[in-house]
Structure 1
Amino acid sequence: MDTELLKTFLEVSRTRHFGRAAEALYLTQSAVSFRIRQLENQLGVNLFTRHRNNIRLTAAGEKLLPYAETLMNTWQAARKEVAHTSRHNEFSIGASASLWECMLNGWLGRLYQSQEPQNGLQFEARIAQRQSLVKQLHERQLDLLITTEAPKMDEFSSQLLGYFTLALYCASPSTMKEALNYLRLEWGPDFQQNEVGLIAADEVPVLTTSSAELARQQLHALNGCTWLPTRWAKEKGGLHTVADSATLSRPLYAIWLQNSDKHTLIKDLLKIDVLEE
């Protein structure tokens, strides 16, 4: 069905006047009448009763009205979305909140700076738990995953981006672990397996979160400690390493589908150092 016919039908139903509808659509009155007749012929019903200046919708016209409005709204949305896609190459990157806050935010800025204006890349920074992002990657709803764990599925390709250091931080200097409450910041299932040997066996976290920024802000109020990337913690300032704690080295991986149609783009983007000093 020609959307111009529906557009004309909606304008006539709004103005209840062929002449005013013609003015609004920048058409002649005869063109408006012709379009309405075309639509009526396609549907096999009369849509308007015509009595000189008294134009009204028939019962069939009343039934068509909400469908016509929905179809036109959908068509306009589709046109907008298609035009938007044609202007931009969309690329989605997924990671946990902590990774975005501590290291990927700066990388995203460098990605934009490295782009030529004519390329028009539009990035989506997606925040979710790792298992959700892996599912999205598998279903082609995500282009690239940045995570601390290597992929466990054969259909994924990966690249080791480097390592970063975690240390146990608190808000006060020279404080021992036993004097602090533990705030668990989620760094992945494999980290939690090692976490048992890093804190007291009976330690129950007073807070569990995926946000490094949230955990950092709660350290003083909760008299707590949490594992944070050393470089990020130093940039934030006001944090102190727990006196009787160690440091940990964590890997960072980029993961994508082996048969991704954006494979070349992914390799180009990963040339921009994620863990740049």
Structure 2
Amino acid sequence: MDTELLKTFLEVSRTRHFGRAAEALYLTQSAVSFRIRQLENQLGVNLFTRHRNNIRLTAAGEKLLPYAETLMNTWQAARKEVAHTSRHHQFSIGASASLWECMLSDWLTRLYDLGGNLQFEARIAQRQSLVKQLHERQLDLLITTETPKMDEFSSQLLGHFTLALYCSAPEKTKSELNYLRLEWGPDFQQHEVELIASDDVPTLTTSSAEVAHRQLTQLNGCTWLPVLWADKKECLHQVTDTVALSRPLYAIWLQNSDKQNQIKDLLKIKVID
């Protein structure tokens, strides 16, 4: 559908006059008439009755009117949003909820501190969904603990962070606590099997570090949290009979991304302090 045809239809329906509609649209009257005929041919109905200067909407025209208004409003909103994005260089970054909460929110603050005309989208989803979005060019940059096994992706190791098993009371052993599973990716689950007894059924499973943290006392639980993040929280204690675990953090993007230079500039700002 040509939006100019709808625009012309709306103007004629407003003025009820081809000549005045032509003046408002900066067109000739014959051009307005031609556009209306085009629209009528596409729809297979007459939209106006024409009796000298008495131009009225037909029943079909009346039915089209609200749809035409909605379509034009939507089109104008889309144009505005696209132009806004272009002006502000919108850049989308995806990661799990726990990574955003524990590390990436502070990094995003540092990116904004750089100044410039930047607009970021912080997208939260499961890793598999984000990899798909990256592949389909719906996402510019993925921050994750595992590199996807796809040749079209580039990756950069951003550093390592340490996970430890935490609870809300001191001097607790794992056997005294219920396990709360905070999802750190499929690769981490292999380590989980080694570190957590096979008969431990998680009382809670979540992708949010904040959610897991808030339930530790209520559920007499323990969960894996980044040490640097946990050290800033009150009333968190490492479970005594477990060891800490180092995890990598990667930036992933499409090799042929048109934002290569911007990605390299952003990654100059340290993600892990």
Q: TM-score band, normalised by the shorter chain?
A: 0.7 to 0.9
**Aligned with residue 144 of structure 1, among 125, 141, 145:** 141
Within 2, Cα distance between the matches of 1:274 and 1:244?
A: 30
**Aligned with residue 179 of structure 2, among 167, 175, 182:** 182
Letter in 2 for 1:203: D
Determine helix, strand or coil for the equivalent of 1:196: helix
Q: Which moved more, 1:134-143 or 1:204-213?
A: 134-143
Determine helix, strand or coil for the equivalent of 1:226: strand
Could you tell me whether the CA contact under 8 Å between 1:8 and 1:32 is conserved in 2? no
For 1:1-277, list aligned pairs within 5 A. Answer: 6-7=6-7, 9-11=9-11, 13=13, 37-42=33-38, 43=40, 45=46, 47-50=48-51, 56-62=56-62, 64-116=64-116, 120-276=117-273
Within 1, Cα distance between the matches of 2:204 and 2:236?
A: 18
Aligned-residue Cα RMSD (Å) equals 3.0
Per-residue deviation, 1:195: 0.9
Per-residue deviation, 1:14: 5.1
Letter in 2 for 1:115: G
Change (3 A) 1:147 1:63: same
Within 2, Cα distance between the matches of 1:97 and 1:140?
A: 21
Letter in 2 for 1:243: T
Task: Work out the number of aligned pairs and report it.
Answer: 268
**TM-score with structure 2 length normalisation?**
0.86
Q: Which moved more, 1:164-173 or 1:75-84?
A: 75-84
Change (3 A) 1:258 1:31: closer
Letter in 1 for 2:48: L
Per-residue deviation, 1:235: 0.9
**TM-score with structure 1 length normalisation?**
0.85
Within 1, Cα distance between the matches of 2:216 and 2:102?
A: 17
Letter in 2 for 1:143: D
Within 1, Cα distance between the matches of 2:48 and 2:35?
A: 9
Change (3 A) 1:70 1:79: same
Determine helix, strand or coil for the equivalent of 2:195: coil
Q: Which moved more, 1:223-232 or 1:64-73?
A: 64-73
Mind listing any 5+ residue stretches in structure 2 that lack a counterpart? none
Change (3 A) 1:242 1:8: same
Within 2, Cα distance between the matches of 1:260 and 1:3?
A: 32
Change (3 A) 1:41 1:200: closer
Letter in 1 for 2:263: I
Within 1, Cα distance between the matches of 2:245 and 2:159?
A: 14
Could you tell me whether the CA contact under 8 Å between 1:159 and 1:253 is conserved in 2? yes
Mind listing any 5+ residue stretches in structure 1 that lack a counterpart? none
Within 2, Cα distance between the matches of 1:247 and 1:70?
A: 57
Letter in 2 for 1:200: A
Change (3 A) 1:37 1:99: same
Could you tell me whether the CA contact under 8 Å between 1:8 and 1:35 is conserved in 2? no
Change (3 A) 1:31 1:91: closer
Within 2, Cα distance between the matches of 1:47 and 1:86?
A: 40
Within 1, Cα distance between the matches of 2:47 and 2:186?
A: 66
Per-residue deviation, 1:227: 0.6
Determine helix, strand or coil for the equivalent of 1:160: strand
Letter in 1 for 2:132: K
Per-residue deviation, 1:75: 2.7
Within 1, Cα distance between the matches of 2:256 and 2:119?
A: 21
Within 1, Cα distance between the matches of 2:112 and 2:239?
A: 37
Determine helix, strand or coil for the equivalent of 2:151: coil
* Identity between Structure 1 and Structure 2 (%): 71
Letter in 1 for 2:136: E
Moved over 3 A (4+): 1-9, 11-15, 30-46, 48-52
Could you tell me whether the CA contact under 8 Å between 1:168 and 1:242 is conserved in 2? yes
